[in-house]
Amino acid sequence: MVDITNNKGFPLALVKAVENDSYSKGRADRSVTGLLAPPRQAALKDIHEDVLTEDVSERTFALYGQLVHLLLERSGEQDRNALTEERMFTEMMGWTISGQTDTITLTEEENWVVSDYKFVTAYKFKRNNSGELTMPAEYEQQLNMYAHLLRENGFKVDGLKIVAIYRDSSKLEAKRDKNYPQIGAETHDVKLWSEEDAKAFMEERVRLHQDAMAGDMHGSITQEDLPYCDDEERWAKKDSWALKATPNSKRARKVFYGSNSEAISWAMNPDNKIKRGFVVEHRPGANTRCENYCLVSEYCDQFKVIQGF
């Protein structure tokens, strides 16, 4: 159990709301969202659970979850052939896996549609210049694992949806950029995988987490037993070099990921029409999750190596 602190002076009412959060994965080895976490991170949490602390200011996501609960309660979802906040379980490869959907709605064809509510930044669902929207991979994976859970519990699923509520929605930005979300909340369809693909993906996530915890089953797990988090899991950003027309330019003309000399060579090429006075700005790489969003980074040998310790 993580010990919650309030060292940064978070408002007391919000502290109490976080402390009284009723979320639980139930009697399960992993939840669906837990399976999506890096296996190394999840294993380190299990190993160090007795000494972990987290400031309440880092748990605003828990407040968003409570807001969804209140939203669904007030919307009367239960009155329109829907089930809200249903936690379901299945057995897979010797583990119990659970998942709680926000809403599942019965269609006229007597199938079920899963809807998951997300409080996100508007840029999460900004379209590209062609007007196309790329669904975040982790959302597609999460909802398709929910679909597998539902099928295992006797539900026939024929649709998945994300209800995105934009916590930073801007009317000015919407007027300026047609690809920016034009309203404060939208519903987006999520690709429904085949039953076979959803099951295979979930089994692979379970296998990865079981492999990470294999040593612990014998009471002898060490960091050497754990898989490293890859670039994607660390939200890693490579070093880059931004070519700017002037030192005061807000935007780069072009960003290079090779070297400083590559940026200079490109700028010096007359065909690229870069005037004298350009600058190349070094932007150091980062491991965003490790540095800002990982509760066990201080216990992680991989992160120590990355930092040069």
**HSE (CB half, 13 Å, CA atoms) of 205?**
23
Lowest mean pLDDT, pick from 57-61, 130-134, 217-221, 287-291:
217-221
Q: Three-state SS across the chain?
A: CCEEECCCCCCHHHHHHHHCCCCCCCCCCEEHHHHHCCHHHHHHHHHCCCCCEEEHHHCHHHHHHHHHHHHHHHHCHHHCCEEEEEEEEEEECCEEEEEEEEEEEECCCCCEEEEEEEEECHHHHCCCCCCCCCCCHHHHHHHHHHHHHHHHCCCCEEEEEEEEEECCCCHHHHHHCCCCCCCCEEEEEECCCCHHHHHHHHHHHHHHHHHHCCHHHHCCCCHHHCCCCCCCCCCEECCEEEEECCCCCCCCCEEECCCHHHHHHHHHCHHHCCCCCCEEEEECCEEHHHHHHCCCHHHCHHHHHHHCC
Region 71-75: mean pLDDT is 80
pLDDT of residue 218: 46
| Predicted confidence (pLDDT) at residue 219 exceeds the cutoff of 60 | no
| Predicted confidence (pLDDT) at residue 17 exceeds the cutoff of 60 | yes
| Predicted confidence (pLDDT) at residue 78 exceeds the cutoff of 80 | no
Distance separating alpha carbons of residues 20 and 159, to the nearest angstrom: 33
- How many percent of the chain have pLDDT more than 90? 74
pLDDT in tens, 242-278: 999 999 998 999 999 988 999 999 999 999 989 888 9
| Predicted confidence (pLDDT) at residue 287 exceeds the cutoff of 70 | yes
| Predicted confidence (pLDDT) at residue 40 exceeds the cutoff of 90 | yes
Lowest mean pLDDT, pick from 45-49, 66-70, 246-250:
66-70
- How many percent of the chain have pLDDT more than 70? 96
Could you tell me which residue, 140 or 24, shows the higher pLDDT?
140
Query: 220 pLDDT band (50/70/90 cuts)?
Result: low
User: Does this model's pTM top 0.85?
Assistant: yes
Query: 77 pLDDT band (50/70/90 cuts)?
Result: low
Query: 79 pLDDT band (50/70/90 cuts)?
Result: low
Please report the sign of the dihedral spanned by the C-alpha atoms of residue 255, residue 259, residue 262, residue 268.
positive
pLDDT of residue 301: 94
pLDDT of residue 22: 78
CA separation, residue 297 to residues 38, 85, 169, 195 (Å):
12, 32, 32, 36
pLDDT of residue 149: 97
| Predicted confidence (pLDDT) at residue 147 exceeds the cutoff of 90 | yes
pLDDT of residue 19: 86
Lowest mean pLDDT, pick from 18-22, 60-64, 75-79:
75-79
